[in-house]
A = this chain, B = another copy of it.
Amino acid sequence: MNITGQHILSSSQFDLPLLDHLYRLADTLVPVARGQMTTAVLRGAVLGSIFFEPSTRTRLSFDTAFMRLGGSVSHTTGVEFSSIVKGESLEDTARVVGGYTDVLVVRHFEEEAIYSFASSTNIPVINGGNGAGEHPTQALLDLYTVRSEFKRLNKHVDGCRVAMVGDLRYGRTIHSLVRLLSLYRNLTFVMLSPKGLEIPRDFIDAARERGHELIETNDLNQGLAGCDLIYATRIQIERMSESEKAANKGVNFRIEKSILASVCRDDAIIMHPLPRDSRPGANDLSNDIDGDPRLAIFRQADAGIPVRMALFCMVLGVEDQVKDSLQPATWWRPEYIGPNDASFYRMR
C-alpha cells in the first residue's frame, strides 16, 4: 500500500486495499478541501503542472489540492508550449521540469506522451489525462463519490447495478472507472451507447472474467431502470458520419427529468465527469434535473480536491504527517456551496 515515489499513470495500479487507504486519507482531508482546516505538510514543495491540452476543471482541481497542502504550483498551459514549438523532445522537457519540481501533473493529447515523461524523471508523474487513454485521478474521485453516496444511502458497491451512458468507445473516464469498479464483486454493468460507440471488447471480457454481468443496450428507458448508479457522458453526434447518424436514428441518450421520474430508482445517483454541455440540442445530461437530490455531479467535482490531496500526500510520502498537521482555518466559509447543496454540504 506504499506508493511513495511512484508514477500514477493508470487506474490499474490500484487494488482495493490501496483504495481504502487512499480514501481514508481523503476523508481526513475533506475539512481542508472545504477550507475549514489548514495544513502545511507540503510547505516548500513545488508542483509542476504541465498541460499540453487546455483544461479548466482538472488543472484547477490539481492546483488547488496542492495549494491546500501548503505547496506552490508552477504552470505551463496551452498548446503554445514554447519549448515544444522549438522541437524539444518530451523526454528533454520532462527531465528539465523534473529537475525544478517535486511532482508533476501532465496532460497530453497523445496517449503515449505520459510514458515518455515518466521514463525521463524519477520525480513522481501523475497522469492528468492522456488522449483517449486514461484519466486515473478522475476514476479515483468517481469511485470515492460512489462510495460516499452509497454510504449515505446504506448501499454497497458489491452487487450494485451500474449504467454507463454515452460514448463508451473513446470515453477515457468510463474506461478507467469500469476498471476500478470491477475490483468489487457481482456488479451488473448496463452499457448504453449509440451504435459505433460501444465499449471495447476487452473491457467486456475483463469484467465478465471477474464475475460481473455486462449488458449492452441502446434503449435508455430499459437500461436505466433499477440502476443504483447512472454515469452519464456526452455524445458528440455532430462528429458522427452520415451512416453512423443513420444507424442511430431516433436513439436518444439525453437523461432528463421525465425519464428520471418514470424509470429511475428514488435512491439512484447520477454522475458525470463534467463539463456538461448545456447548449440547446446537446446530447448530454439535461439541466432540467438540476436540484434533484439524485444528481451528484457537483459533490463529485468537489471530491476531486480531497482525493487529489490524498494522492499527492501518498506519492510524496507525507501521509503520516497529515493528521498532526491540521489546524482550524480562521476565515469564513458558507454552510454549503451550491443552491441545492443544503442537505449534503452542511459543514461538519
Contact = CB atoms under 8 A, between A and B. Distances in A.
Interface of A: 4-5, 32, 35, 38-46, 48, 54-57, 59-61, 63-64, 67-68, 70, 72-74, 76, 78, 80-89, 92-93, 95-102, 119-123, 274-279, 282, 284, 287, 298, 301-302, 304-305, 315-318, 321, 327, 329-339
How many identical chains are in the complex?
A: 3
A338 B121 CA distance: 5
30 contacts: A32-B44, A35-B45, A44-B70, A44-B327, A44-B329, A45-B329, A46-B68, A48-B60, A54-B85, A56-B84, A59-B76, A60-B76, A67-B72, A72-B73, A78-B80, A83-B274, A83-B275, A87-B275, A88-B275, A92-B275, A92-B276, A99-B301, A99-B338, A102-B331, A102-B333, A120-B338, A121-B337, A122-B339, A123-B337, A317-B332
B46 A67 contact: yes
A102 B60 contact: no
Contacts of A89: 276, 278, 287
A274 B40 CA distance: 34
B41 A95 contact: no
A122 B341 CA distance: 10
A80 B40 CA distance: 33
A301 B277 CA distance: 40
Nearest to A301: B96
A42 B331 contact: yes
Contacts of A284: 87
Contact of A276 (B80, B88, B120, B305): B88
A327 B45 CA distance: 13
Given A298-B96, A338-B120, A55 B82 contact: yes
